[in-house]
Amino acid sequence: MKLELSEMDLLDQRDNNGHDSILKKRFIQSVMQEAKVDIDKAQRNYLSSRGFEANDWYDGRGFTVSTDGLEYTHLKKHRFVDMKTRRTKEGIKKKRSHPIHNRIIWGHYNNIIKELHFGFTEEIKEKLRNID
């Protein structure tokens, strides 16, 4: 009988771990979805405040959210305007930078890491359970 109890405990444990992994994936996806919105909003605000009004500055960007993470795609020119210097035949020239990529992405990256590390609380688990 003791063997059956431990077997049942093991089955219950497996069920809970399986359920927790589903909840973790939901949590990761919700955090990434929020980060996507925040990054997009921050970039749009910065671009519009610096005079980048043409649609081609906004069209080449894309976000893909999954249970594994967040993927961000951008045009090469987004990285180019982010650079502080430019190499030419005459040497390195300093130019005006518009930090639309690194500062925004890495600033949000740190917040995402903190949220994933400390945000998966029992309260959040309960909210995610009630979504079903």
> For 32-49, how does the pLDDT look when each residue is reduced to its tens digit (9 = 90+)?
999 999 999 998 898 888
Q: Counting beta carbons within 10 angstroms of the beta carbon of residue 68, is it exposed (0 to 12), middle (13 to 18) or buried (19 or more)? A: exposed
Q: What is the largest CA-CA distance in the chain?
A: 84
**The pLDDT value given to residue 12:** 54
Q: Where are the domains of the chain?
A: 2-129
> For 90-119, how does the pLDDT look when each residue is reduced to its tens digit (9 = 90+)?
888 777 777 777 888 889 999 999 998 898
**The pLDDT value given to residue 94:** 77
> For 76-85, how does the pLDDT look when each residue is reduced to its tens digit (9 = 90+)?
877 777 776 6
